[in-house]
Amino acid sequence: MPEPAYVSSSPFVPAAPSPGPEAPLAAPAALRPVPPAVPSYDDLVAPASDRIVSLGGQPVRRLASFTVSARLRGRDVLADTDLTPDEILEVLDTAARLKRLHRAGEAHAYLPGKTLGMIFQHPSTRTRVSFEAGMAQLGGQAIFLNTNDLQLKRGETIGDTARVLGRYVDGVVARVKHHSDLVELAAGAEVPVYNGLSDRAHPMQALSDLLTLQERFGSLVGLKLAFVGDGSNNMAASLLLAGAAMGVHVAVAGPAVDQPAAEIVSHGRWLAGRSGAGPAGTGGATVTVTDDPWAAVKDANAVYTDVHVSLGQADEPARAVALAPYKVTEALMAAANPGAVFLHCLPMHRGEEVDAAVADGPQSAIFDQAENRLHLQKAVLLQTMC
C-alpha cells in the first residue's frame, strides 16, 4: 500500500537529502497527512444534520391545519349589517384561534401571494397598522395608497380606480369621508372591499369590540353595553347594530341633538328582537336611547365613549359644553356593574370625554380593544380571501 502524501504546515521547509534505497521514509515532524479524498465510514453513517450546513435562505415552517368557513369568500364588509349573527360568530371564532397562534409564535401564513390595497382619505394609526401587519402575518402584503398619490386627485372616477385595483390586488380596505364613496368603490371592484371607517359606520372596530367583550365575559348574549357621549356618530351606530344583532342590550346616552338616527334605532331594535337574548318568552335584547347617562350605565357590563368631536367635525365650543355632562368619570363608572369594563376606540382625549383615572385604571380594556383590531381583521381577511 502506498505511503500517504504529506504537505507542509510551515511556510517553508528545506528539502532533505535523498535517502538511500534501504532508508525508511519518515514523516518530518512539521508535516501532516492530507485528508483522504474518499469519506470515511464514520462520515457516511453520521446524521445528515452533522454532514450538511445550510447557507442562506429561510427555514420552511410547517403550517398547522386551519379550517374556516368559505361563506364569506369574496364578500364585502361595508356595514355592520353585511354579516349575519352566525357569520359574526364564525369570524369571532376565527379571530380567537388566530390570536392564540399569534401569541404562541406559531406561523399562520395562510394567504401567501395575496395583496391588500389600502386607500385612506383620513389619517390612521390602528386601522392602517393592524391591516398591514395582519396581511404580513398571513403571508401576504399590503400596499398603502394615499389619495394624494392616486389619480383620484386629478379627477379619475372612483369606479375606474376600483376596476383597475381589482385587477391588481385581492382586496381593498378604504377609509373614506363619505360612505357613498365606499359603496361606489365596492360596486366597481371585483374583489372584497372593507370599510376602514366612513362617516356612517366603523364595522371593523365594532366587531373587534365584540371580540373583546367575548374574551372578558365568555358570551355576548345578555350583556349590557352603554355608549355615553356623541350618540350620533359612526361608532355609536356600529355598536348599536352589531351589539343588538348579537344579543347585547345597548343603551346610548347623549344630548337630544346627538342621538342615533331614527332608522338606526329602528333597525337595531329589529335585530335585537330577533337575537333571542331575553328570558324564554320575553323576546330578545333591548335598545335604549336616552339623554340620561346615569340611567344608561345602570347594570352595564361595558361603558363605552368616543371623542366628543368626531373625525371631520368642526371643533365647536358649543359641542364641548353640550357633551360635558357625558364625560365618563369614576363616579359614572361606579354606577355600572361592579365588573364593568371601560372601552374607547381611540384616539382619546383624557380629561374631555373620559377622566384619566378611568382610562388608565383597572377597569380599562382600551389596549385589549386596540390589539383585537389586528386579530379580528385577520379573521375577516382570511375568510373573504381564502
Instruction: Extract the annotated binding site for carbamoyl phosphate.
Output: 124-127, 151, 175, 202-205, 345-346, 373
Rounded Cα distance between 289 and 229, Å, is 12
Q: 70: which DSSP letter?
A: S
Residues 6+ apart with CB under 8 A from 275: 85, 221, 244, 245, 246, 247, 284, 285
- Residue in 121, 137, 205, 363 annotated catalytic: 205
Contact 211, 218 (CB under 8 A): no
Residues belonging to the binding site are 124-127, 151, 175, 202-205, 234, 306, 310-311, 345-346, 373
Q: Is 103 a catalytic residue?
A: no
- Residue in 97, 128, 200, 202 annotated catalytic: 202
Contact 121, 147 (CB under 8 A): yes
Residues belonging to the binding site for L-ornithine are 234, 306, 310-311
Residues 6+ apart with CB under 8 A from 61: 107
Q: Is 345 a catalytic residue?
A: yes
Rounded Cα distance between 210 and 188, Å, is 30
Q: What does the buried/exposed string (b/e) look like for 336-370 if buried means 16 or more CB atoms within 10 Å of the residue's CB?
A: bbeebbbbbbbebeeebbbbeebbeeebbbbebbb
Contact 210, 243 (CB under 8 A): yes
Please name which of 231, 245, 237, 218 lies closest in space to residue 301, comparing C-alpha atoms: 218
Q: Is 386 a catalytic residue?
A: no
- Residue in 76, 170, 306, 355 annotated catalytic: 306
Please name which of 362, 359, 245, 381 lies closest in space to residue 305, comparing C-alpha atoms: 359
Q: Is 75 a catalytic residue?
A: no
- Residue in 97, 128, 175, 249 annotated catalytic: 175
- Residue in 345, 369, 375, 383 annotated catalytic: 345
Q: Quick one: angle between helices 179-188 and 158-168, nearest 10? A: 50
Q: Is 369 a catalytic residue?
A: no
Using DSSP bridges, classify how beta strands 141-146 and 171-175 pair: parallel, antiparallel or unpaired. unpaired
Query: Which residues belong to the active site?
Result: 175, 202, 205, 306, 345, 373
